[in-house]
Structure 1
Amino acid sequence: MTRRLTHIDCFSGPGGICTGFRAAGFETLLAIELVESCVETYTANHKDVPVINKDIRDVTEEEVKRIVGNRVVDILTAGMPCETFSTAGATSRSFYDHRQFLYREAIRLADAVNARMILFENVPGIQTKKVAKDSDRLIIDEIYDDLAKYGYVHHISTILNAEDFGVPQSRERFFILASREKLDLRVPVAKNRKIVTVEEAFIDLPEEPKETINSAKKKLENGEEIEVEQYKDIDSAYSKLMKDRDFWKFEKKELALTYHFAPVHRKGTIKRFEMIKQGEGLKDLFDKLMAEHGPEEIERLQKEKIIPNKWYIQRNRRLSPDKPSVTVTSHCLSELVHPIKNRALTIREVARLQSFPDFYDFKGGKFVAPHKDPQQDKYEQIGDAVPPLLAYHWGLVIKEILEGVKVTEGV
C-alpha cells in the first residue's frame, strides 16, 4: 500500500492549504499558527491535526520532532504574513521589521525534520521588496540564499491567478517550490479551465438572507447553536463542488447553509450602495459625483453621512455577476458589495469566493477591526487564507513530482 504524502502547515491561518491538500490526498502532520481564533477554526475542521498555537519564532525543533516522530515529511508550506510586501498600501510596504524574515523560521523547521520540499506563498510584491530602506538587496535574493544554505538548492517560482484554477476570484499570488532532491519541479498549469463567475458562486444562496435574530437555529454536535438558512433550489457546477464532501474528503454529515446572514448597515450606507454600479467602487463614485455635480454635492452627501470624508481605492466595490470577484482581502467586509443587493457580503458568500466548502466551520468573532486586534474575525480569517482549490491543484502537482505518476484532477 502506497503511503499518503505528508505535510507540515506553517502560518496555517484557518486551514486553506490544509483543506486543499486534504482533497489532493495529503496527510497534514502538524500546523503552526499564532492567532488563536484561526487555531480554533483550524481545529474545528481538522480535528486530527495537532496545532502549535505560538509565534513560529518560539517553536523549537524539539517540539516539531516530538509531534512528527519518525514520519517522512514530504512538504512544508509557509504563507508568511504579507503586509510588509503588499503594494496595495504604501504605508504597510514602508515597514521593515521581523515579519519579512519569518520565512527563515519555516526553513529552520523544514531542516529539523528533513522535509523533502518547501512551498512558499505570498503576494507578488515580495519580489521587489528590499531588506532595508537604504539597501539594494532584495528579500527574494535572501530567500533563495537561505534555502541554499539549508540544502534546498533546487527551486522554481511562479505567479498564479486563482481564477485560472476554478476559484471565482481574481487573486494573484507568488510561489516558490524548493527541493533538496533533484526532481522534475513544475507548477500547476491552467488547462483552458472555465472561469467561474460570482453569479455561479452565489447561485444557490438567498440574496436576502434573514437577519441573525430571525434565522433558524441548528445545534451542532458540540452543543453550539448556529444560524442556518435554506439553499435555493438551483445549482452550478461550482456550488455543487462546494457541497461535495467526497471531493474534499470530509466525513459525510447533514449539510446546512451556515454563516449566511447579512450585515446591518446604516441608512446612509445603504443609500451609498444604491449609487454604486456593478464593477464600480467608492473611488468611482467620488469621481462621478465630482465630474457631474462638483464638490458641493460631495460635501452635501458627506454631511448627510451617505459618503465618507475620504475614499479608498479598494472600498465598497460592487461585484459584477458575470465575472470573477476582485481579490478578497482581510478587509473584505468593507471592500465588497453584493452584485445585486445593497449590502456587504455574508461570511458564507466570502467563503464561496475563496473556495472554502460550505461545511467549513469558522470560529472567532463576526466583526473585528482588521489588523488592530490580536484576534481575527471570520471575514479576516477567510480573506487572509490561501484558496483551498488553488492549494488542491498544488497538491496534485506535488504528488506528480514526488510519486512520478500523473494524477487525475477531480475538477
Structure 2
Amino acid sequence: MPEESGFQAFTAEDFEALSSKGAGQGAGAVSPPPPEPSGDFALIEFEEEALISEDLEGGETQAEEERTKLAETFSSESFVREDSLLTNAEAYAASIRDEADTYRQGLVGKTEDLNREAERIRKEAEHLKTRAEEERSSAIQAAESEVQSIRDAAYQEGFESGLEQGTQQRYAETEVLGLQVVEVIEQLRTLRQTVRQQGEEELVRLAQNLTRQVVMEELAVNPKVIENLARSALKEVEEHGKIHLYLHPQDYEFLLNSETDLERYLGEEQTLTIRASLDATPGSILVEGDETSVEFTFQNQLERLDRMLVEHLSEQHARMHEVEMDAYDFTPRSADSQTPAEAPSSSPAATESSAEADSATSVPEAESSTPA
C-alpha cells in the first residue's frame, strides 16, 4: 500500500460507524452505494464489520489484533470481486490530488485577481488623495488671496484717512517747531563763536608752551644753536678792543666742544674772550665791549612773539561777528583729496606762532645797552 496516496489508518470510530450501519440492515439486504469520500479518507466496508466492531468494543488490545489479522489476510483480488473502494485507491488519490491542484490553482488565480483589484483600488485611492490635496491647496490659496486683498483694501483706506489727518496735525505742529528751531540755531551760532574764541585762545597758549619747550630742548641737544647765536652776536659788535662773551655754563661747554672758529668773525683790532656766567640763562649770550653791552636771548624773542599773538587775537575777536561761520565747509576730507586751494587753513594765530617759533631757533633779537 503506498504511503503517500493520502490513505490513513483505520480507527475504532470508523468501525463503530460501520457496525451500527450493518446492524440496521437485514441479512439479505443490498448494500447501498458507498458514500462519497470526504477529504483524503475513504471508508471500506467488510462483511465481517459487525463482528469486528463488537470485538473492538472489548478493548483496545483486541482491535490491534484484528487489524493485524486483517493486514495478514489482505488481498487486492478479493476486494476487486467485492467491488471495494480500495481497488482504485491510488487512482482515487491521484484524482484527489488533481482536484486539489486545480482548486489551488483556482485559489491562486482568485488571489492574483484580488491582488490586482487591491492594487487598482490603492492607486485609485492615491489618485483621489492627490486630487484632494490639490483641491485643498487651491482652496487655501484662494482663501489667503482673498484675505490679503481685503486686508490691503482696509490698509489703503486707513492709510489715506490717517495720512490726511496726520498731515493736518503735522502742519499745526511744524509751525511751533520751526520757531523753536530758529531759536536753537541762533543759540548754536552764539555758542560756536564762543567756543571758537576760547579754542583759539587755548591754541595760542598751547603753541607758546610748545615753542618754549622746543627751543629749550633744541638748546639742550643741538650745539649749532649756540654757535649761530655767537656768530650773530659777534657780527653786531662793531667797536674795537676787547670783546667778552658771557654764556650759561652748559652753553659754554657746548661752544668749546664744538671747536668753532669764532675769531674769523672778528674785525680788525678786536680780541675775543669767552667766559661762563652763572647769571646767564640758557640760550642767552651777553656781549660786552669797552663801550657797549648787547644781550642776545631767546626769552626776549619769545616774549615778543607772545605780544604779537595777543594783539592778533584781539583783532580776530573784534571781527568775529562780521565773519559768516556757516559759510565754511567743516566736512572732514582726506589729505590726498584736498587741493591747495581747498585745504582749510589753520588758525591765523597758530600759523603765525609756528612761523615765529621757527624764527626763534635761528637768531634772537639783540637788545643793546650802554653800560652806565
TM range, normalised to the smaller chain? Answer: under 0.3
Decide which structure has greater helix share.
2
Decide which structure has greater strand share.
1
Q: Which has the higher Rg, Structure 1 or Structure 2?
A: 2
| Higher normalized contact order (CA 8 Å, seq sep 6+, divided by chain length) | 1
Q: TM-score, normalised by structure 2?
A: 0.21
